[in-house]
Amino acid sequence: MKNLLTYIKTTAMGYIMNSTLIYYYFRLKSTPLLFKYEKPVNFQGRNPHCKIFKGNTFISEDFEIIPVPYFEDNYSYLIFDLKFLTCVVVDPGDPQLILNMLVQENWDHSAGNLSLLNGLKLFQKHFEGIKVYGGLKDFSGFFTKWYTGVKNFVNDKDEIYVGRLCFKVFETNWHTSGHSMYLFDPIKSLNLKENNDELALSYPCSLFCGDSFFSGGIGMFFEGSSVDLHNFFTTSFQKIPTTTLLWPGHEYAFTNFQFAKEVEPNNLAIQFRLKDVKHLKYINSSSVPTTLAQESQFNPFLRIHGQAAKIVAAKRGTLISDYGGGGPEEIYSSVKNLLSERVKKIEEELKDELKKKWKRVEIREDELLEILVLQCLRVLKSEFIPSKL
């Protein structure tokens, strides 16, 4: 990583990206302050609420991904193209923290987290030509556009190139209507013609999920519902390789796996994972990343959808062994037991929503059941009271 310091001294471009906002800088070369890069070691001084001291870096020959914990449980991510000297930052919720990592000087701003607008000004002060990207539906409103600085809007299925780094956009409207995930595809970024399993393991994709998915869970249904989530599972989800690394916007694993254990008490993968994340929490360490294949073993929301589960299982091959668990059937009965008569009310509400949202006239019984269980799981999760360490 020492070499990176030298690289950045002479490099030409750097970028910042957010799952809701993408910042893009260039002409780093003319920015004299941007010449020192320090790996995050201990954020306690900067973010007194942050309990995670260190994230797990993922490094390949060409790229490096570094999680940056901030606030109580948030993550930003730095993505470096080590050869073409490009840097992308995902979710710069604490811009000063990011800048402190990238630059040598200490800024004269007071302690505490800057607002996004102030953060943007801070970036603009030091980097020319910032471009800010965000989901069209979330950020095109006049006021939102102004206070977030978003000028470049992305839609579902868009492909963005930052230098040679290639990102695909996935709209995840069960959280907010324009919420987006960004899939970093190293194989496409490297312009490799071949794409086989071996290559996919050497150069796994990285999914920056924001509030859409977490290890062991999913985001809240603010502006969407399980209808939208189910729709995602039957369409875009199938295009994401199972070797993909998941980099969520929050460290929620300990709570999520306590809940998962309640839903699937016989799933050994969940029990092992809960033990692991408990230990990681105890030593103030990060639980990210996981892979999509792993999540298919222990994330109840990914296990309920028959088709999604089947796709992941079929593609998983021998990547990981199956630790058992009852799967969808166990989750169905567990959810019904836990919610008892409330299930009926949820079902009625969903049927109304389906009529409005679903273009298809026919809805299969098994699909309806999956949507219902996803919705029930989300309701149960919102009411779940986790134990503390």
- Provide the minimum distance between the beta carbon of 290 and Fe ion in the complex, in angstroms, as a whole number: 18
Among residues 168 and 250, whose Cβ is nearest to Fe ion? 250
- Provide the minimum distance between the beta carbon of 20 and Fe ion in the complex, in angstroms, as a whole number: 9
Q: Of 74, 40, 78, nearest to 59 (Cα)?
A: 78
- Provide the minimum distance between the beta carbon of 212 and Fe ion in the complex, in angstroms, as a whole number: 10
Among residues 67 and 249, whose Cβ is nearest to Fe ion? 249
Site string for Fe ion, 248-277 (x = CB under 5 A): -x----------------------------
CA 358, 361, 366, 368 dihedral sign is positive
Distance CA 113, CA 56 (A): 23
Q: Select from 20-28, 200-208, 247-255, 310-318 the region that touches Fe ion (CB under 5 A).
A: 247-255
- Provide the minimum distance between the beta carbon of 249 and Fe ion in the complex, in angstroms, as a whole number: 5
**Binders in 206-235 for Fe ion, by CB under 5 A:** 211
Residue nearest to Fe ion (CB): 211
Among residues 92 and 328, whose Cβ is nearest to Fe ion? 92
- Provide the minimum distance between the beta carbon of 248 and Fe ion in the complex, in angstroms, as a whole number: 9
- Provide the minimum distance between the beta carbon of 91 and Fe ion in the complex, in angstroms, as a whole number: 9
DSSP 91-124: --SSHHHHHHHH-SSPPSPPSSPPPHHHHHHHHH
Distance CA 51, CA 70 (A): 9
367 binds Fe ion (CB under 5 A): no
Among residues 211 and 251, whose Cβ is nearest to Fe ion? 211
User: CA 314 → CA 21, 145, 294, 297, 345, distances in Å?
Assistant: 34, 43, 13, 13, 35
Distance CA 207, CA 46 (A): 27
Q: How many residues bind Fe ion (CB under 5 A)?
A: 2
Distance CA 268, CA 274 (A): 10
Q: Select from 235-243, 245-253, 303-311, 314-322 the region that touches Fe ion (CB under 5 A).
A: 245-253
Among residues 69 and 163, whose Cβ is nearest to Fe ion? 69
Helix (H, G, I), strand (E, B) or coil at 75: strand
Distance CA 62, CA 187 (A): 11
Distance CA 296, CA 241 (A): 12
Distance CA 360, CA 252 (A): 35
Among residues 211 and 295, whose Cβ is nearest to Fe ion? 211
Among residues 163 and 249, whose Cβ is nearest to Fe ion? 249
Torsion angle in degrees (nearest 10) through CA of 118, 119, 121, 122:
120
- Provide the minimum distance between the beta carbon of 73 and Fe ion in the complex, in angstroms, as a whole number: 9
Distance CA 368, CA 227 (A): 9
Distance CA 381, CA 270 (A): 16
- Provide the minimum distance between the beta carbon of 250 and Fe ion in the complex, in angstroms, as a whole number: 6
Q: Select from 205-213, 314-322, 338-346, 373-381 the region that touches Fe ion (CB under 5 A).
A: 205-213
Among residues 7 and 77, whose Cβ is nearest to Fe ion? 77
Per CB under 5 A, residues contacting Fe ion are 211, 249
